[in-house]
């Protein structure tokens, strides 16, 4: 998902959370607060944003600037403080915080919980008076009294509700039955430390509820002694599962933003290189007969360039910086064309079958390269799930879903669909794993064997194509992915071949502008081979001089968008002011966000993406010059 979608999701989660949330800058000012923060302090959100930490926190607020350098170096921060409400009431707070960077600004990301009740309850429990029984029963925090052997002496209703056990069941349990296996050593050592030292002020661990859900808890514990021997430990916890998940989503959004910045920077230079590779290989393929040995070598170079372009698109697609190149395609032909590559990727112990109907009727509106990427990801995952061999099958067919059937299929709307099915007989997945497989960075593969991006990317591509994903899997029984794409009735758009270029000739005059000499040279060769008269300029300023000179009538300006000095959009505006007859075709290898900053959109008809190929360029020019 893109940054705007991540922001909307993040804001929805934060604003509906019961825990208070603050973004605090280095000066102590608030960059963001959620509804819980404003309501608990008695302010409106606008009023709270106009204040600073010093206005609400008498303890740490006045010296926040002095504390900031130390806090910034710590991986996480846990402290207790007090807040002053709008009415002047003092309430006790517990804070978990971490320093993050958003854009160019550092913030303290703070999750704050009111512990006034808990502090009052701890005092009451220490006195162990009957008058505090109601407080124990009604507390929202989780309270447990545990004997030295781990058995439960007493738990409160909130504890029972959170973990799902009845009072009778608790009598048969021990604390060790609830510990998450991944935390066993840590929990055992902490339990022993409480009995030896008498108190542990900060405990963070994970328990497993009766239904198997993992509950992250945070709190403190102390021990009561008689004659120097521990009698029981008293623990007060709170359920921080939601808060931890929120923190993880925030960190994940930062990872996605970093990937977006990385791919944006790489895409431009890489696409310029690929333009040179693809254009020269296609140009010289036209001059050689198919039987020439050099033709095979050039085809290999061209195909490698196409794969490189697909790799760039894969990274851009995941970071959602790329607009898909939608065309009417036959999904069956995509499957058939990719089956040879898939056969090379799977070992002999896996039986591979492909079933597609003839006739080219499985037509959808899609980006062919992105669908190839989805199919490869699913096939590779299936291969990795069958280390000891098995069956991998891929099929494609048309299916009509009516209102009586679609409800059980991922809320798919009724209609006609082209369905792509990838099925294996591998190890399968548990229901818990299935709930996370489309999350970025989630993987069940060993360290170094998987990034956790494959299925997340595939899911994003399917959704961009208005499609649906249905997964069926059981441990030991394999996995089946069904991808549903809306069927279209329009004819398939044919690819441009070298032979077809011969009828896409022109005689007009074209001015090509790019600050990369290699790009100017290869485009000039391509256009002259198509019959055009070509002038080139290495900058917008040089191009404008040619237009203003007027000795050559320019029919079309083919210009890069992002260049030193004047941009392509600025050049187009000034050139058309001199001669309104000039048509303009923009080209770029940059991502959408960069282009929009320079006044150009990929969605416009007068734009072509790098890497350029002579075929795509020939079609675009004839459409604009017709």
pLDDT at 2: 56
Rounded to an integer, the average pLDDT of 137-153 is 89
User: Using an 8 Å Cβ cutoff, are 394 and 375 in contact?
Assistant: yes
Q: Are residues 123 and 110 in the same domain?
A: no
Please name which of 380, 377, 403, 398 lies closest in space to residue 462, comparing C-alpha atoms. 377
Give the residue, 43 or 294, on which the prediction is more confident: 43
Flag whether 318 is in a domain.
no
Flag whether 588 is in a domain.
yes
Preceding amide of 611 cis, omega within 30: yes
Q: Are residues 39 and 130 in the same domain?
A: no
Query: Residue 504 belongs to a domain with what CATH number?
Result: 3.40.50.2300
Rounded to an integer, the average pLDDT of 322-336 is 77
* Global confidence as pTM: 0.44
Reported as a single tens digit per residue, the pLDDT across 343-376 is 888 888 999 999 988 776 788 888 887 888 889 8
Rounded to an integer, the average pLDDT of 417-437 is 85
pLDDT at 446: 47
Average pLDDT in the chain:
82
Of 194, 209, 239, at which residue does a domain stop? 239
Q: Are residues 513 and 455 in the same domain?
A: no
User: Using an 8 Å Cβ cutoff, are 278 and 309 in contact?
Assistant: yes
User: Using an 8 Å Cβ cutoff, are 511 and 543 in contact?
Assistant: yes
Reported as a single tens digit per residue, the pLDDT across 497-530 is 444 455 578 889 999 999 888 889 888 988 998 8
Reported as a single tens digit per residue, the pLDDT across 2-31 is 556 666 777 787 888 889 999 999 999 999
Q: Are residues 351 and 422 in the same domain?
A: yes
Flag whether 426 is in a domain.
yes
Flag whether 421 is in a domain.
yes
Q: Are residues 221 and 158 in the same domain?
A: yes
Flag whether 263 is in a domain.
no
DSSP secondary structure string for all residues of 47-63? HHHTSBHHHH-TTTGGG
pLDDT classification of 449: cutoffs 50, 70, 90: very low
Give the residue, 319 or 617, on which the prediction is more confident: 617
Of 463, 493, 523, at which residue does a domain stop? 493
pLDDT at 40: 93
Take residue 361 and report the two structure tokens written for it. 């009727």
Flag whether 393 is in a domain.
yes
In the predicted model, is pLDDT for residue 249 greater than 60?
yes
pLDDT classification of 54: cutoffs 50, 70, 90: very high
DSSP, collapsed to helix, strand or coil, labels residue 178 as helix
388 vs 549: CA distance, rounded Å: 72
Take residue 79 and report the two structure tokens written for it. 């402290």
pLDDT classification of 270: cutoffs 50, 70, 90: confident
User: Using an 8 Å Cβ cutoff, are 585 and 624 in contact?
Assistant: yes
Q: Which domain holds residue 203?
A: 118-239
Q: Are residues 482 and 529 in the same domain?
A: no
Give the residue, 410 or 87, on which the prediction is more confident: 87
Q: Are residues 405 and 439 in the same domain?
A: yes
Take residue 25 and report the two structure tokens written for it. 């800058």
Q: Are residues 421 and 561 in the same domain?
A: no
Q: Are residues 519 and 586 in the same domain?
A: yes
DSSP secondary structure string for all residues of 101-115? EETTEEEEEEEEEE-
Flag whether 268 is in a domain.
no
Q: Are residues 408 and 503 in the same domain?
A: no
Q: Are residues 137 and 57 in the same domain?
A: no
Of 66, 82, 114, at which residue does a domain stop? 114
Flag whether 247 is in a domain.
no
Query: Residue 477 belongs to a domain with what CATH number?
Result: 3.30.565.10
pLDDT at 260: 63
Query: Residue 129 belongs to a domain with what CATH number?
Result: 3.30.450.20
Q: Are residues 459 and 514 in the same domain?
A: no
pLDDT at 37: 93
Reported as a single tens digit per residue, the pLDDT across 175-206 is 899 988 888 888 888 899 998 898 888 888 88
pLDDT at 130: 56
User: Using an 8 Å Cβ cutoff, are 32 and 47 in contact?
Assistant: no
**Count of domains for the chain:** 4
Per-residue HEC secondary structure of 268-328 comes to HHHHHHHHHHHHHHHHHHHHCCCCCHHHHHHHHHHHHHHHHHHHHHHHHHHCCCCCCCCEE
């Amino acid at each position: 998902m893109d940054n705007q979608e991540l922001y909307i999701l993040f804001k929805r989660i934060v604003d509906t959370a019961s825990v208070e949330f603050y973004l605090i800058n280095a000066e102590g000012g608030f960059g963001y607060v959620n509804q819980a923060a404003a309501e608990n302090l008695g302010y409106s959100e606008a009023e709270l944003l106009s204040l600073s930490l010093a206005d609400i926190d008498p303890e740490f607020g006045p010296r926040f600037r002095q504390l900031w350098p130390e806090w910034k170096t710590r991986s996480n921060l846990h402290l207790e403080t007090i807040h002053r409400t709008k009415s002047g009431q003092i309430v006790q707070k517990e804070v978990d915080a971490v320093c993050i960077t958003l854009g160019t600004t550092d913030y303290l990301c703070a999750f704050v919980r009111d512990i006034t009740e808990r502090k009052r309850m701890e005092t009451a429990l220490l006195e162990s008076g009957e008058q505090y029984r109601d407080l124990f029963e009604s507390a929202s925090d989780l309270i447990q009294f545990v004997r030295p052997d781990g058995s439960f002496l007493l738990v409160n209703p909130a504890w029972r509700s959170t973990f799902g056990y009845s009072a009778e069941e608790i009598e048969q349990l021990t604390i060790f039955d609830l510990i998450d296996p991944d935390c066993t050593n840590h929990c055992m050592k902490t339990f022993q430390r409480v009995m030896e030292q008498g108190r542990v002020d900060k405990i963070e661990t994970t328990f497993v509820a009766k239904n198997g859900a993992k509950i992250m808890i945070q709190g403190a514990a102390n021990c009561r002694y008689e004659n120097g021997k521990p009698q029981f430990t008293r623990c007060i916890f709170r359920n921080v599962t939601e808060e931890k998940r929120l923190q993880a989503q925030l960190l994940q959004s930062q990872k996605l933003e970093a990937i977006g910045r990385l791919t944006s920077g790489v895409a431009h230079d890489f696409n310029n290189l690929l333009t040179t590779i693809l254009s020269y290989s296609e140009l010289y393929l036209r001059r050689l007969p198919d039987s020439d040995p050099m033709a095979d070598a050039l085809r290999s170079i061209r195909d490698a360039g196409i794969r490189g372009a697909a790799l760039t698109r894969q990274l851009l697609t995941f970071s959602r910086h790329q607009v898909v190149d939608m065309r009417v395609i036959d999904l069956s032909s995509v499957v058939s064309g990719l089956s040879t590559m898939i056969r090379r990727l799977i070992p002999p112990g896996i039986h591979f079958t492909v079933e597609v109907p003839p006739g080219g009727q499985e037509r959808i509106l899609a980006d062919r390269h992105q669908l190839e990427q989805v199919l490869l990801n699913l096939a590779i995952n299936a291969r990795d799930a069958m280390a000891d061999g098995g069956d991998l099958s891929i099929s494609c067919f048309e299916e009509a879903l009516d209102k009586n059937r679609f409800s059980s299929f991922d809320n798919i709307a009724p209609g006609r669909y082209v369905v792509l099915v990838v099925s294996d007989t591998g190890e399968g997945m548990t229901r818990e794993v299935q709930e996370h497989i489309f999350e970025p960075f989630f993987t069940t593969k060993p360290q170094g064997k998987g990034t956790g991006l494959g299925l997340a990317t595939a899911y994003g591509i399917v959704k961009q194509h208005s499609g649906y994903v249905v997964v069926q899997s059981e441990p030991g029984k394999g996995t089946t992915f069904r991808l549903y794409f809306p069927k279209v009735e329009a004819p398939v758009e044919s690819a441009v071949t070298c032979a077809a270029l011969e009828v896409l000739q022109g005689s007009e005059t074209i001015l090509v502008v790019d600050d990369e000499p290699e790009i100017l040279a290869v485009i000039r060769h391509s256009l002259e081979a198509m019959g055009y008269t070509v002038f080139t300029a290495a900058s917008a300023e040089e191009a404008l001089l040619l237009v203003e000179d007027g000795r050559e009538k320019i029919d079309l300006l083919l210009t890069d968008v992002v260049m030193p000095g004047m941009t392509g959009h600025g050049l187009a505006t000034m050139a058309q002011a001199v001669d309104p007859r000039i048509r303009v075709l923009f080209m770029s290898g940059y991502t959408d966000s960069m282009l929009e900053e320079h006044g150009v959109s990929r969605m416009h008809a007068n734009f072509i993406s790098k890497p350029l190929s002579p075929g795509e360029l020939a079609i675009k020019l004839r459409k604009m010059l017709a």
